[in-house]
Amino acid sequence: MSNAVAEAPAAADPAIQSFLVTFTIRRFDPEKDAEPRWVDYDVELFSTDRVLDALHKIKWEVDGSLSFRRSCAHGICGSDAMRINGRNRLACKTLIKDLDISKPIYVEAIKGLPLEKDLIVDMEPFFASFREVQPFLVANSTPEKGKERVQSIADRAIFDDTTKCILCAACTSSCPVFWTDGQYFGPAAIVNAHRFIFDSRDDNAEVRLDILNDKEGVWRCRTTFNCSEACPRGIEVTKAIAEVKQAVLRGRR
C-alpha cells in the first residue's frame, strides 16, 4: 500500500526547507478491527513542527478518522501522552528535529490502560487511583479570623516538585509493575499523594500513608526509574515515591 501524504504549507521564508517524514501509527477501530494494525503516513513537515502537528496534518488532510486526545498543545493539559518511538512523551512537546527522521517514527497509545481507539485509552483506572489517595487539602482547624494558612518558603519547597504534575499518565503507563498489575496505584497517584502528605497545612497525611501502605501501594514500586524518565514535567517521580515510602515507615510525614 502506498503511503498517504500530507503536505506542508509554504514556508514564509523560502530558505526554510520542509522534508518528508514517515509516521507509522498503530491504529485500532473497535467497530472494524479485531486487532490493532500499523499504518504508514508520509507527512511534509518543518523541523520546528511537533509530532502533534503531524497528527493534525494526517487527521485534517488524509484520514479524519485518526483519533487522539489533545487540548492545550502547550504541555499543560496532559491529554496527549503517547508512545513515540517506544518512549512515553507528550506529542505537543516532541519536536520533529529531535527525532531520527531517517527512519519511520512509530506512534502508539500508552500501555497498561484499556485501548479504546487509535491513540486513545480509557483513563478511568488511572483517575480512580488518583482519587483514592485523596488529592486535596484536608485541614481540621479554621484559620484565625479570616487569615490565610501561613506556610514558610522552606515548608513549601518540600513538595514543590510534585505540584507540577499535569496528570498525563506518562509515568504510570511506563511502569512495568503497572503493566502487569493494573491494581497498583502507580507513580502518578503517589506523586499526587506526596503533594499533600508533605504540605504543612494538611492534616490527613496519616490517612494517605495508610492507604499507600496497602499491598497495591508504594511497596509495589521496584525503582526502575521509567517514571522519572517519562515525566514531561521533569518531576523526580522515583524520589517522591522513595520519600513516601520513608514516611510510611515513620508513620508520619
- How far is CA 90 from each of CA 19, 84, 225, rounded to the nearest angstrom? 22, 9, 18
Number of residues forming the site for ligand SF4 (CB under 6 A): 16
- Give the integer Cα–Cα distance in Å for 98 and 58: 20
Helix or strand holding residue 73 (H, E) = none
Q: Which stretch binds ligand FES (CB under 6 A): 6-14, 15-23, 30-38, 71-79?
A: 71-79
Q: Which stretch binds ligand FES (CB under 6 A): 15-23, 72-80, 97-105, 221-229?
A: 72-80
Selected from 25, 92, 205, 240, the binder of ligand FES by CB under 6 A is: 92
77 close to 167: Cβ distance less than 8 angstroms: no
Selected from 42, 49, 53, 80, the binder of ligand FES by CB under 6 A is: 80
Selected from 6, 166, 197, 221, the binder of ligand SF4 by CB under 6 A is: 166
Nearest CA to 111 out of 119, 103, 101 is that of: 119
If the CB atoms of residues 104 and 187 are measured against ligand SF4, the closer one turns out to be 187
Q: Which stretch binds ligand SF4 (CB under 6 A): 30-38, 195-203, 232-240, 242-250?
A: 232-240
Burial (CB < 10 A; 0-12, 13-18, 19+), residue 85, is middle
Q: Is 110 in the site for ligand SF4 (CB under 6 A)?
A: no
Least Å distance, CB 121 to ligand SF4, is 14
Selected from 197, 221, 235, 244, the binder of ligand SF4 by CB under 6 A is: 235
Q: Which amino acid is at 194?
A: H
Nearest CA to 76 out of 159, 174, 167 is that of: 167
Q: Which of ligand FES, ligand SF4, none interacts with 111 (beta carbon under 5 to 8 A by kind)?
A: none
The pair phi, psi for residue 193, each rounded to 5°, is -70, -45
Radius of gyration of the chain (CA): 21
Q: Which of ligand FES, ligand SF4, none interacts with 156 (beta carbon under 5 to 8 A by kind)?
A: none
CA 7, 10, 11, 17 torsion-angle sign:
positive
Q: Is 168 in the site for ligand SF4 (CB under 6 A)?
A: yes
Positions touching ligand FES (CB under 6 A) are 70-73, 75-80, 90, 92
